[in-house]
Each structure stands twice: as structure tokens, then as C-alpha cells.
């Protein structure tokens, strides 16, 4: 009977689980498509390449979708049991709530292990493929990666602007301005045209652009002295059709998924990240030591004693100002003040570098710790969801969804807040990665205790009875009209 009951509980759980996971995954992927839309539309990609890119980008979504799905599914499952009085029937048969939750707890353990494996092995590989694919799409499609109305320098040696870009692959152009990037001692050239069109070139290392109804403005300055330049008349050439070829061999020699980007920490698993953390810490320590050495070296002539310095720098004997005349003394003090002020400004100028160093170090640590912490979040969300479901005894997509969304928003806000504080150095990054779990775990344990003791946590009458003496104390007794 118990085995049949376990199978029934798991079967009831997987119904809403599959539905909710599909819906949430679709919502998160649509959000990714909306954010990344400009990066892979209009680039001449095939449908297969777009689907492959989306699959790479959506892998990271599973880390957030799976815990939220477990939270919602567990609330709905135990809420349905309570609403249909199945939970009461199980308890009446002598089966405790702990035993009823056991098969789903084991199932959640499996999902936690799966999420750890997925985050540790699959997500880094997909992140690498996605980043390289986006990079190589931009590199191999330079003709179709322009933004209308902006000056861009994607063509080597030229600054271009197109007022309007149309066509299925962005090949039709309107309002064209092309300026050759050159120094003041080289020939200058600017091209203005009403319309233009990108067409396939015979040589794949060149980009072919056909321009219509425009002018070429040129100044021949190479090898001409200044006086000759002043006498040189402006030159403008009107054209009906002009064919231009741009050498893009520097950026065209790449293929999709060439995987040339390999040094991103998001491409690594937990073990590899340990090595990256050690290297980053050593690099930061070296930079800090160099800054300390530089600071002490600059102040060495003006500071008689420097303590707490790891750098072994000999300190010269200070000059006693009492032994010099007043004018010389003022010069020395003024010089020392300027020197210290320069040191102060130089040190303040390194503040941004120090913040960037710490922020990167914190990001690497938090990325590593979240591979594990998100797996633990699945277990915590199950405890919260199963306990809330058995207490509120409401199934469906109403109240359980509202409660689950509130809890997830709390988790997400804690996650982002701890992340930002850790980046700025206000909290240890290890603690920041685990802070949402540390906050929600006592809440989950408390809810589980309340569920096991059949607490009427959401009973409105209970809270009314608690505050009734206080309300009666401050409220006036209304005497019936007939007794006045």
C-alpha cells in the first residue's frame, strides 16, 4: 500500500511539475530572445543556427526555473491533497506527513543532483558555445551589423553612417555617409550618397557596396606642404553609380563556433574555478604589493617611519626643520605638502582599479558557489512549498501561485542585493552566494514544523481571536437604541 501511495504522490507531483516547468522555461527564453533579438536577427542566419544559439543561451535559465518549478509544484500538489481531503485520509490511515513528503523529498534530491551536474558540466560548455557563436556572428556578418543613424567603425579604416537600413538581410541602404579614417597628413576622402546596396562580392575577403546618386569629396594632402594645401581647391566628384570594395579580411577569417574565446570564468566547472580563484587572488595580491611599494617609495623622503608595510624599503633619515632657516623651512614644507598631495591624488586614482579587481574576484567566487547553492535551493523550496501546501489546503493556480511568486521574488531580491553588495566589497562573496539560502532555510524549517503540528497558520479566525481582547479594550460598547 505504501509503495502505491508513493507512486501516487510522485505521479500527482509530476503533472504540475512538467506543465509549470514548460511555461516558466518558455517565459524565460522569450525574455532572452527579447534581450538578444538585435544580435541574431537580420544577420543572414539559418533557422537551425538561430535555434542552436537559443538552446545555448537558454541553458542558464534552468538554474532559476527548476527551483521555482519545485516550489510551485510542491505547493500545488499538497494543496490539492488538502483540498480534496486526501491528506486528511492519509493521516487518518496512520501515515504521517513526514512519510507522505518522503518520496517527493527523494525526488527533489534527484533534481538537486541533476541541477548540480547540469550547472557544473553542461552550462559552462553551452556558455562558451553561445559567447563564441555571438562573437563570430558579429565578426562574419559585418555588412549586416549596423545600427541606423549612428556612426560606426566596423569597416576597417572607415567610419560609416546609414540613415535607414531595409531589406530581408539589411542590404538596402538610404542616407549613406562614408568617411575614410586618415591622419591630417594623409589624403582625405568622404562619400555621400542617397541610396546604396550591399551585393555579394566575388572575393569573400571584400565587402561590395554599390552607391547611387552621390558625391565624393577628396583632399590630396599626402606629400604636400602646408602652403600648398591652402592653395589646393576643394574637389568634389558627382556620380550616378559607384562601386566600392572594402577589405574585411581581418575579421572575415572566422567561422561560427570557432571557439576563440576560452578565458571566461563562466566556461569553467567548480574544480577549474578553484584554480581561477587562486590565480586571481595571487594577481590581486601582486597588484596590491606593487601599489604599496609605489606609495611607500614616493613617500619615503617625507615619512620618517612606515609601519605595517610588507615592502622592505629602506627609509632615509628625515631632515630636522629646526636646523634650517624659516624660508628654507617653508620651501621644504610646501614641497612636502605638494608631494603628499600628489601621492594622495595618485592613490585616489587607483580606486576604480581596486573596485574592478574586487568586483571580478567576487563574481568568480559567487559564480562557483552558486553552482552548489542553487542545488540546495531546490531542497529549501521543496520544504517551503510542501509545508505551505499542506497548511493552506488550496490547489490550482490561484493562491499557491501568488504565494510562490512572493517567495521567489524575495529570493531573487536577496540574490541580487547580496551580489551587488559583494561586488562593492560590503560583504564576503562566499556569504553573499549563500545568503538567500541562509535566510529562507529557517523559514522552511519553521513552516515544516508548523505543517507537522497541523498549525492553522492561515486561519483568519485564529488571528481575529488573538486580537479580539485588544480590539474590545479600545472600542466603545454600542448600547441598543431601545435601552437608551
Instruction: Determine contact, residues 43/50, Cβ cutoff 8 Å.
Output: no
What does the alpha-carbon distance between residue 59 and residue 267 come to, in Å, rounded to a whole number? 13
pLDDT at 217: 84
* DSSP symbol at 479: -
CA separation, residue 57 to residues 46, 62, 419, 453 (Å): 17, 11, 22, 44
Q: Which three cell numbers stand for residue 276?
A: 581561477
**pLDDT at residue 44, as a whole number:** 58
pLDDT recorded at residue 255: 46
Q: Report pLDDT for 226.
A: 62
The whole-model pTM stands at 0.64
Per-block average pLDDT, block size 10, for the chain (484 residues)? 79 88 87 69 67 83 89 87 82 83 91 92 86 68 63 77 79 86 74 87 77 85 65 76 78 52 74 86 80 67 46 51 63 72 71 78 88 92 88 70 83 89 86 91 88 68 63 60 50
Beta bridge partners of 164: 174
Max alpha carbon distance in the chain (Å)? Answer: 116
Dihedral of CA atoms 125, 127, 128, 133 in degrees, nearest 10, equals 120
Q: What's the CA gap between 188 and 476, in Å, rounded?
A: 91
Q: Write down the pLDDT at residue 108.
A: 93
* pLDDT given for residue 305 in this prediction: 41
Contact between 410 and 437 (Cβ < 8 Å) = no
Tell me if residue 320 falls in helix, strand or coil.
Answer: coil
- Helical spans, DSSP H, in 141-254: 226-231, 249-252
**Euclidean distance between CA atoms 115 and 123, whole angstroms:** 10
E strand or H helix at 237, and its extent? strand 235-247
Say whether 337 sits in a helix, a strand or coil: helix
pLDDT at 306: 41
**Residue 267: exposed, middle, or buried by beta-carbon count in 10 A (0-12, 13-18, 19+)?**
buried
Which residue has 556620380 as its cell numbers?
Answer: 239
Rounded Cα–Cα distance for residues 376 and 389 (Å): 20
Distance CA 383, CA 356 (A): 38
For 213, the 3-state DSSP assignment is: strand
- What pLDDT does 379 receive? 93
CB contact set of 295 (below 8 Å; sequence gap of 6+): 343, 346, 347
How far apart are the two ends of the chain, measured CA to CA in Å? 68
Cell 636646523 identifies what position?
A: 323
pLDDT confidence of residue 309: 44
Q: Are strands 235-247 and 188-199 parallel, antiparallel or unpaired?
A: unpaired
CB atoms within 10 A of CB 120: 19
In order of 275, 387, 391, 452, the CA distances from 457 in angstroms are 48, 11, 7, 12
Residue 102 CB neighbour total at 10 angstroms: 14
Amino acid at each position: 500500500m505504501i509503495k502505491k501511495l508513493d507512486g501516487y504522490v510522485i505521479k500527482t507531483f509530476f503533472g504540475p511539475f512538467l506543465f509549470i516547468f514548460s511555461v516558466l522555461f518558455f517565459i524565460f527564453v522569450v525574455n532572452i530572445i527579447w534581450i538578444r533579438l538585435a544580435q541574431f536577427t537580420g544577420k543572414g542566419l539559418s533557422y537551425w543556427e538561430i535555434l542552436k544559439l537559443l538552446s545555448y543561451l537558454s541553458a542558464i535559465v534552468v538554474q532559476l526555473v527548476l527551483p521555482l518549478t519545485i516550489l510551485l509544484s510542491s505547493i500545488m500538489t499538497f494543496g490539492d491533497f488538502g483540498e480534496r481531503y486526501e491528506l486528511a485520509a492519509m493521516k487518518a490511515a496512520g501515515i504521517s506527513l513526514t512519510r507522505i513528503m518522503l518520496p517527493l523529498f527523494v525526488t527533489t534530491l534527484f533534481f538537486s543532483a541533476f541541477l548540480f551536474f547540469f550547472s557544473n558540466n553542461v552550462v559552462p560548455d553551452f556558455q562558451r558555445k553561445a559567447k563564441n557563436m555571438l562573437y563570430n556572428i558579429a565578426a562574419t556578418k559585418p555588412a549586416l551589423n549596423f545600427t541606423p543613424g549612428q556612426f560606426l567603425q566596423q569597416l576597417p579604416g572607415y567610419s560609416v553612417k546609414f540613415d535607414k537600413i531595409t531589406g530581408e538581410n539589411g542590404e538596402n541602404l538610404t542616407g549613406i555617409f562614408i568617411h575614410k579614417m586618415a591622419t591630417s597628413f594623409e589624403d582625405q576622402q568622404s562619400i555621400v550618397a542617397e541610396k546604396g546596396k550591399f551585393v555579394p562580392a566575388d572575393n569573400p575577403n571584400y565587402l561590395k557596396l554599390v552607391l547611387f546618386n552621390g558625391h565624393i569629396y577628396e583632399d590630396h594632402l599626402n606629400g604636400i606642404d602646408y602652403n600648398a594645401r591652402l592653395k589646393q581647391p576643394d574637389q568634389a566628384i558627382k556620380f550616378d553609380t559607384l562601386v566600392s570594395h572594402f577589405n574585411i579580411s581581418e575579421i572575415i577569417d572566422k567561422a561560427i563556433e570557432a571557439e576563440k574565446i576560452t578565458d571566461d570564468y563562466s566556461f569553467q566547472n567548480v574544480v577549474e574555478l578553484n584554480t581561477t580563484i587562486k590565480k586571481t587572488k595571487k594577481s590581486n595580491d601582486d597588484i596590491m604589493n606593487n601599489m604599496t611599494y609605489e606609495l611607500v617609495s614616493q613617500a619615503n623622503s617625507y615619512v620618517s617611519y612606515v609601519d605595517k608595510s610588507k615592502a622592505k624599503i629602506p627609509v632615509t633619515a628625515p631632515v630636522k626643520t629646526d636646523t634650517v632657516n624659516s624660508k628654507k623651512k617653508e620651501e621644504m614644507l610646501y614641497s612636502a605638502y605638494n608631494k603628499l598631495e600628489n601621492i594622495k591624488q595618485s592613490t585616489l586614482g587607483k580606486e576604480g582599479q581596486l573596485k574592478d579587481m574586487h568586483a571580478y574576484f567576487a563574481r568568480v567566487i559567487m559564480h562557483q558557489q552558486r553552482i552548489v547553492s542553487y542545488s540546495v535551493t531546490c531542497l529549501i523550496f521543496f520544504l517551503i512549498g510542501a509545508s505551505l501546501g499542506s497548511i493552506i489546503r488550496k490547489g490550482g493556480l490561484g493562491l499557491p501561485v501568488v504565494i510562490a511568486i512572493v517567495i521567489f521574488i524575495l529570493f531573487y531580491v536577496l540574490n541580487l542585493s547580496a551580489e551587488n553588495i559583494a561586488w562593492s566589497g560590503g560583504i564576503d562573496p562566499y556569504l553573499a552566494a549563500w545568503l538567500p539560502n541562509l535566510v529562507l532555510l529557517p523559514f522552511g524549517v519553521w513552516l515544516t514544523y508548523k505543517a507537522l503540528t497541523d498549525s492553522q497558520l492561515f486561519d483568519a479566525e485564529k488571528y481575529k481571536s488573538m486580537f479580539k481582547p485588544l480590539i474590545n479594550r479600545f472600542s466603545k460598547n454600542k448600547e441598543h437604541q431601545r435601552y437608551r
